[in-house]
Structure 1
Amino acid sequence: MIELAPEHRESVDGAIDRALTRLAARAQPHGESAQALTSAVHAAASDGKRLRPALVVAAFTAYGGDTDAVPALWDVAAAFEILHTALLVHDDLIDRDDERRGIPNVSGRFRARAQSFGADAHGTAVVADAAAVLAGDLLLFEATRLVATAALTDVERDQLFAVLDEALLVSAVGELADAEHAARADLPDAEALLTAAHDKTAVYSFRAPLRAGAILAGAASHPALADAAAALGLAFQLVDDLIGTFGSRSQAGRDPGADLREAKRTPLIALARQSESWSRVSDALAEAHTGPIAVRRAQREIEASGARAGVEELVRANLRRARAHAASPELPPPAVMLLAGIADAIERRIP
């Protein structure tokens, strides 16, 4: 995928660190619990691929922006990474996950903290959940504050807040839909699952940061960029679904077939349900939680149903759509090249 140049990564990381150090300093007088919370927040935002800041910077330069002339670029790019972290913290809470990237996340840290002072199972869960809610809230505010205090014109700030507003609202809608789909007795149809996949990821991860970079570079109008970015975001999420089902440990960052063991309802499963072999797939999925052999059986049945090929075609259809939007004459050639490069990188991620 798109990566930040080392000097740009340093600038983005510096902006993130300044924001979170300020938060920690403000929490210091409020006691040890507040300090533990801000420490967990800082850990949650550490490392990471910095994809969203990279997209902000890439769009900015593609539209002719000078990274040395717009210091607000780094604060805005950092805001999108902090927004991403906030949504991950809340997503982990919704999914009841205590780890992220193989280490305890905010919930995991506070679960251990509650156990250390003798909390029972209920109290431990309450503390872990509360910490995750509050950490995500603090991060959401920090993302907003970075844009509010950046050295921007009033017009730029209004445009960026509109972008953030859409990103947060659509992400919330997608997250709620995902939770409701998981709770339903019946399996939602493929269109509903595709819409949820788009809303959870495409807007805040692709369309919003790319639009933000264009705004900072002075682009007055960018509908083709936004449309291409939305298609790229959906393709990216569909590839993530394939990786969660068929990807290796190195691709997924966790045990192979994790989505099958967790019985996640993805467009891949919806397409399998539409096949004539659904009964075999369903039987295999019911056993996938029992171990690697059952996971491999479920993988084979899903592939035999044609669902894997179907999702791969959906990925490629969205990439074709993105490339078609990118061909718009309203886009400068560097922006066309940027979008094409992102599309190629997403295609290479298909397991």
Structure 2
Amino acid sequence: MSTSRIRKEVDEALLAFVDRQRPTLLAISDDLTPLLSALDVLLAGGKRLRPAFCYWGWRAAGGADCAAIVQAAASLELLQASALIHDDVMDSSDTRRGQPSVHRRFEALHGAQSWPGDAEAFGSGAAILLGDLCLAWSSEMFETCGLGGDRRRHARDVYDMMRTEVMCGQYLDMLESTRGEATADTALRVVEYKSAKYTIERPLHLGAALAGARPDVTGALTAYGLPLGIAFQLRDDVLGVFGDPGETGKPAGDDLREGKRTVLIALTLERASSAQADAIQRRLGDPDLDRPGVDELRTIITETGGLAACEAMIDQYLTDAEKALTSAPVTPEAHQALSELAVAATTRSM
């Protein structure tokens, strides 16, 4: 199955699942319509990487193409929706996927209705609840995917670990930003648990577990998936500073305003002069950082060699992933698809 076809079938599975839930919510109250509308907008975007890796983990382990694996893989998009909604609340992000973030959407609803009380608190509370609902629905969609009970129960261990790891990684990310002292090593720890495992390695493991994969297949998927997941997040960090808003769906330099202590920033600080480090410490995390301020930080990141060092790391991790895939005991079709996904995950345009 092609990547575009997987995305189409995942989209259809998500739409069908949410449509099945819709009458239940509206039977409770029509006031829940804005929750469904906000979720519809959020689910309309996204690259569907996690479902794609889950599907190809299944195929790599010898699983046959079927609707049930697409349903199981699509459940990861509801987990991702939960993570994004909560992440945007914690980061006070205004946009997501080129649209107002969920908490800003509900904040605007509060203002439009002229309700009493704090609009920002209402927006945050509504977003947290919708994120919780998506988390619950991700489990429901997975458990009702139609795959056999024994394999599904075994794979549920992977699903549970995946959710635990991403929440721990999110906490570590918040902690590093608060401390303001992240090194490249501590930033890489965040990358591993918040993104690399969550985006690529565990989805591969989930699909493989559902197919009853042998240990050598699971090990090969780790050797490929973990370095690729790190490369993916490092590329995302670069895009968070230098990316085109039309590609990223967020304002230029938004990661700088949010004060994210990424590997890119750590590598820059390691190479910066005292004056350059002072400028970074002063401007990083300023919510009012304007375009000249963004340009100043971009210049420092480039001139210190921080950007070049990060690009070199991306290249090395991608090479490690490709080398591991070369000898992986997976089906030829899966080998080709995973090779293409590696390129797609790490060569996004700036």
The AA in structure 2 aligned to 1:323 is E
TM-score scaled to structure 1, two decimals?
A: 0.89
Query: Following the alignment from structure 1 to structure 2, what is the Cα–Cα distance between the partners of residues 282 and 3?
Result: 49
Q: 1:308 maps to what in 2? A: 307
1:159 to 2:154 alignment? yes
Q: 1:258 maps to what in 2? A: 254
Q: 1:195 maps to what in 2? A: 189
Query: Following the alignment from structure 2 to structure 1, what is the Cα–Cα distance between the partners of residues 246 and 108?
Result: 27
1:90 to 2:86 alignment? yes
Q: 2:275 maps to what in 1? A: 279
Within-5 A mapping of 1:1-351: 4-6=3-5, 8-67=6-65, 70-119=66-115, 123-184=118-179, 186-221=180-215, 222-283=218-279, 286-287=282-283, 289-349=288-348, 351=350
Query: Following the alignment from structure 2 to structure 1, what is the Cα–Cα distance between the partners of residues 97 and 317?
Result: 28
CA contact (8 A) 1:206 1:229 kept: yes
The AA in structure 2 aligned to 1:175 is Q
The AA in structure 2 aligned to 1:340 is S
> What's the CA shift for 1:310?
1.3
> What's the CA shift for 1:278?
4.7
Query: Following the alignment from structure 2 to structure 1, what is the Cα–Cα distance between the partners of residues 279 and 100?
Result: 33
CA contact (8 A) 1:272 1:306 kept: yes
Query: Following the alignment from structure 1 to structure 2, what is the Cα–Cα distance between the partners of residues 37 and 238?
Result: 33
CA contact (8 A) 1:276 1:305 kept: yes
CA contact (8 A) 1:60 1:216 kept: yes
TM-score scaled to structure 2, two decimals?
A: 0.90
Structure 1's 240 and 224: CA in aligned 2 closer, same or farther, altered over 3 A? same
CA contact (8 A) 2:155 2:206 kept: yes
Query: Following the alignment from structure 1 to structure 2, what is the Cα–Cα distance between the partners of residues 125 and 42?
Result: 22
CA contact (8 A) 1:62 1:338 kept: no
CA contact (8 A) 2:9 2:70 kept: yes
> What's the CA shift for 1:217?
3.7
> What's the CA shift for 1:347?
4.0
Query: Following the alignment from structure 2 to structure 1, what is the Cα–Cα distance between the partners of residues 45 and 297?
Result: 34
Structure 2 spans left out of the alignment, 5+ residues: none
Structure 1's 347 and 201: CA in aligned 2 closer, same or farther, altered over 3 A? closer
CA contact (8 A) 2:196 2:228 kept: yes
The AA in structure 1 aligned to 2:92 is R
Query: Following the alignment from structure 1 to structure 2, what is the Cα–Cα distance between the partners of residues 277 and 298?
Result: 13
Query: Following the alignment from structure 1 to structure 2, what is the Cα–Cα distance between the partners of residues 245 and 21?
Result: 37
Query: Following the alignment from structure 1 to structure 2, what is the Cα–Cα distance between the partners of residues 237 and 3?
Result: 24
CA contact (8 A) 2:99 2:249 kept: no
CA contact (8 A) 1:90 1:133 kept: yes
CA contact (8 A) 2:152 2:210 kept: no
The AA in structure 1 aligned to 2:338 is L
Q: Percent identity?
A: 31
Query: Following the alignment from structure 1 to structure 2, what is the Cα–Cα distance between the partners of residues 296 and 205?
Result: 30
Structure 1's 287 and 98: CA in aligned 2 closer, same or farther, altered over 3 A? closer
Give the root-mean-square deviation of aligned CA atoms: 2.3
Query: Following the alignment from structure 1 to structure 2, what is the Cα–Cα distance between the partners of residues 278 and 25?
Result: 60
Structure 1's 167 and 155: CA in aligned 2 closer, same or farther, altered over 3 A? same
Query: Following the alignment from structure 1 to structure 2, what is the Cα–Cα distance between the partners of residues 9 and 129?
Result: 30
Structure 1's 278 and 199: CA in aligned 2 closer, same or farther, altered over 3 A? farther
Query: Following the alignment from structure 1 to structure 2, what is the Cα–Cα distance between the partners of residues 348 and 109?
Result: 32
In the comparison of the two structures, how many residue pairs are matched? 345
Query: Following the alignment from structure 1 to structure 2, what is the Cα–Cα distance between the partners of residues 153 and 146?
Result: 14
